[in-house]
Amino acid sequence: MASGYRNGVHKGGTVKVDRPVSAPPSSLRPSSSFKSHRPPPPVRRSSPSSLGGASAKYDVSVSGRVRVAVRLRPRNDEELEADADFADCVELQPELKRLKLRKNNWDSDTYEFDEVLTEFASQKRVYEVVAKPVVESVLDGYNGTVMAYGQTGTGKTHTLGRLGDEDTSARGIMVRAMEDIIADITPETDSISMSYLQIYMETIQDLLNPANNNIAIVEDPKTGDVSLPGASLAEIRDQQSFMELLRLGEAHRFAANTKMNTESSRSHAILMVHVKKSVLGAEAAFSYENDNPYQSVNNFKPPVIRTGKLFLVDLAGSERIHKSGSEGHTLEEAKSINLSLSALGKCINALAENSAHVPVRDSKLTRLLRDSFGGTARTSLIVTIGPSPRHRAETASTILFGQRAMKVENMLKIKEEFDYKSLSRRLDIQLDKLIAENERQQKAFEDEIERINLEAQSRISEAERKFADALERERVNCQMDYMESIKKLEEKWVLNQEKHGKNGFTNGSYSGEAHVGAVNEESEVKMLLQNEINLRKAAEEEINILRNQLSDSMPSEAGGDVDVVKLQRLLDDEVCQKKRFEEEVMVLRSQLSQLTFEADQNGRLARGKSGNSFTGVDPPSHPRHSPVKDVVNGHMASITNLHEQVGLQKIFSLLESEDPNVRIHAVKVVANLAAEEANQQRIVEAGGLTSLLMLLRSLEDETVRRVAAGAIANLAMNEANQEFIMAEGGIKLLAMTAADAEDPQTLRMVAGAIANLCGNDKLQMRLRSEGGIKALLQMVRCRHPDVLSQVARGIANFAKCESRVSTHGTKNGRSILIEDGALSWIVQNSNNEASLIRRHTELALCHLAQHEVNAKDMISGGALWELVRISRDCSREDIKALARRTMISSPTFYAELRRLRIDL
């Protein structure tokens, strides 16, 4: 009988109608997962620093046995009529995970499997116990295989490839597996691609491109990995595109009408899904702790990409010629099918018996599946059987095939590689930062040199002017002294002449006494003249000394250049030393942050149902089982009944008890009541808020302060309560608590309360004047991620209110956050690994940038580069669009972007 295309126009046969498996009864309890109960051993990875080459890979082996499940098909119409008087040859015991194959009415063989699925098992249950663990392994970076084996007509295609267009509950493993894969990936960083092939008459054909009908198998000579480079590889964007490709492939698959099945598969169908998924973990850590561009370059590590490959194999059914009635071309197809299945059975037998030789090259099916049996893939096999006693021999053969397959051990290997493309994009952004920072520093250096030159020239001019004035004064003084001395000498000479004329000669005769007096006068004049000469020389020497001192004090032009060079060297030495210190500080800070984060992750207490809600009782970590959640709900209900029975006033009176234990329990009850929105108004009206503030003011007990701060944080979510807290001096009390507390949980409660108050437009100035903003910024000293997320939320709320007030025109001037020095912390944490911190700081930057008066401070503080990064790489489209719109609408930002030649 001639074969034809499946789900298309049949050549010489009838069109196949899928027969659905009976739905399970509602009372049937679903069994446990098909996963192993014992978790796999921890993965040990090599240190990234020890990996050489351009694309380092991790290769970790984990032992994993082939898992086998058996599924029984219900009787079809023909069997209900022909075998009505005969009992089923198979008896299932699903609770014991075993089945009995009857030899006759009194004897049977018992076999155990990993899962036994009755004829009532739903498609969803079959997927969860057979295929879902394999799909999860593929998403973790392993290879995986899910294969259906059995006699023709036992439901292999129904189990594996049913599309479920009319009834979604009838969807097979292929459709459900792709739904889980698409739901788990991130489209921005991950990718999915698929190939759909069939092995027909020992030729590999492309079901997505029928013209490609003889695809060659290529083996890597080093690793032995098998690949099909000639097969079509289609990118999967969503579930709809996958379904369209699957329908296209099913239409090209060969099928024929036999006595065993109205539409019997005449080929082995293989769906190959390739998954590339980025890993956000310690290997892909990317530190933005300090925004120092020189330090952050050393902390770049490429993100890690995990690659997994999923094989979904729908084998053609084994058949006996006298039962199927195959003849002609269909007979040749049956021979080819049986030969390839026989080769697969030989390989599994060799692996089960630990044979030295495994004949994987006997058929193309075994060559493609060499990684699935005895290789590195996680493999699940589902064998399908029928209940009819007429096919007992075929059923026994199928069961024995599954039993042998359970003995095969695979060594699972995870494959990871570095994503250097993403690292290249990040380095490009950092390079732009470094270029801009270098230009800024160069401009600052040139400005400093020019300032020093101007200052030196000013000092030289001032010294020259002072020297000229001093020299002129000294010259005038010397001239005056000289003239005065000459005048005195002339007067003395006149007097001497008069005396000489009167006493030296008398009546023409010489007087000795007069001569002696003249000689004395002459000696005295000479002495005075010599003194004047000595004084003049001393004055000239003093002038020369002063001139030399003034010359020494005036730096020459060459000396000025030497001073500039020395100053530049000193500045360079200080910059280098500062860089070294900052690098050492950053390394220590990164290590301390990592250790703190890991410790907090292991010991983190459970939180309330949202990030803004705080409870007084410290519950354990969030479990996934619903009974624990019911206990917590019952505990809250009991607290509510307690306050209704006892009364709020009596509970508040216990807050002032002398017994510490009573006081602690009372404040925890109040905190749990405050976590419910319905109780908040009654607590405030009854004076509970005043009592909580008094606890912060008076008590030193850390537990009481922490729980009281959490209750105040919950009450602060109400706007009316916020103004009451401010009126009662709550901000000062919270600030004092923040300054004294060291416990991260106490700081988280206080930061949450202040963050709620920061969202009120009316309280902004009071928050600053009473120390709320200062306390919020001081709490970053605690590097706990929960505390930092609350601080970031408060800053985002405050920046949003400032932006709203500035838009209305009721506020001018720079942001209070910038004036208080919060900008540097916001920039440093705008790309924090914690998603909450990163999202809030990104929003804060966008809100600050909306006010034009903040633009220059943000550019000098490095915020512009973070806005560019947010507009390109932010995971949230609304924040990305806000950042881009803000930079375009700001003239200052837009001019700076044009100067730096950055395109948004």
Cα(759)–Cα(436) distance, integer angstroms: 35
Tokens representing 580 are 């070294």
Name which of 773, 759, 879, 877 is nearest 830 in CA terms: 879
Q: Is 157 annotated as a binding-site member?
A: yes
Cα(589)–Cα(602) distance, integer angstroms: 20
The strand pairing partners of 307, in sequence order, are 276
Query: Do the beta carbons of residue 730 and residue 713 sit within 8 Å?
Result: no
Residue 763 carries which DSSP code?
Answer: G
Cα(586)–Cα(299) distance, integer angstroms: 9
Cα(92)–Cα(118) distance, integer angstroms: 7
**DSSP H/E element including 60:** strand 57-65
The residues, any chain, with a CB within 8 Å of residue 691's CB and separated by 6 or more, are 652, 655, 656, 670
The residues, any chain, with a CB within 8 Å of residue 61's CB and separated by 6 or more, are 376, 411, 412, 413
Cα(419)–Cα(303) distance, integer angstroms: 5
Cα(517)–Cα(297) distance, integer angstroms: 101
Name which of 816, 884, 801 is nearest 853 in CA terms: 816
HEC secondary structure over 830-868: CCCCCHHHHHHHHHHHHHHHCCHHHHHHHHHCCHHHHHH
The residues, any chain, with a CB within 8 Å of residue 811's CB and separated by 6 or more, are 802, 805
The single residue listed with the structure tokens 């169908």 is: 269
Query: Do the beta carbons of residue 525 and residue 492 sit within 8 Å?
Result: yes
Cα(99)–Cα(32) distance, integer angstroms: 18
Query: Do the beta carbons of residue 558 and residue 468 sit within 8 Å?
Result: no
The single residue listed with the structure tokens 């503080």 is: 861
The two beta strands, 304-314 and 144-150, are parallel
Cα(556)–Cα(456) distance, integer angstroms: 10
The Cα angle at residue 205 between residues 202 and 210, in degrees rounded to 5: 145
Q: Is 151 annotated as a binding-site member?
A: yes
Measured CA to CA in angstroms, residue 888 lies from 754, 844, 860, 891, 892 at distances of 33, 17, 18, 7, 9
The residues, any chain, with a CB within 8 Å of residue 99's CB and separated by 6 or more, are 70, 72, 90, 91, 92, 93, 110, 111, 113, 116, 399
Measured CA to CA in angstroms, residue 38 lies from 167, 484, 561, 602 at distances of 36, 119, 77, 21
CA end-to-end span of the chain: 65
The single residue listed with the structure tokens 């058929």 is: 363
Query: Do the beta carbons of residue 737 and residue 698 sit within 8 Å?
Result: no
Cα(372)–Cα(411) distance, integer angstroms: 10
The Cα angle at residue 247 between residues 243 and 252, in degrees rounded to 5: 150
Q: Is 710 annotated as a binding-site member?
A: no
Count of Cβ atoms closer than 10 Å to residue 651 Cβ: 21
Cα(221)–Cα(242) distance, integer angstroms: 33
Q: Is 150 annotated as a binding-site member?
A: yes
Q: Is 737 annotated as a binding-site member?
A: no
The single residue listed with the structure tokens 């014992």 is: 38
Cα(188)–Cα(626) distance, integer angstroms: 34
Measured CA to CA in angstroms, residue 487 lies from 481, 521, 529 at distances of 10, 16, 12
As annotated, the binding site for ATP includes 150-157
As annotated, the binding site includes 150-157
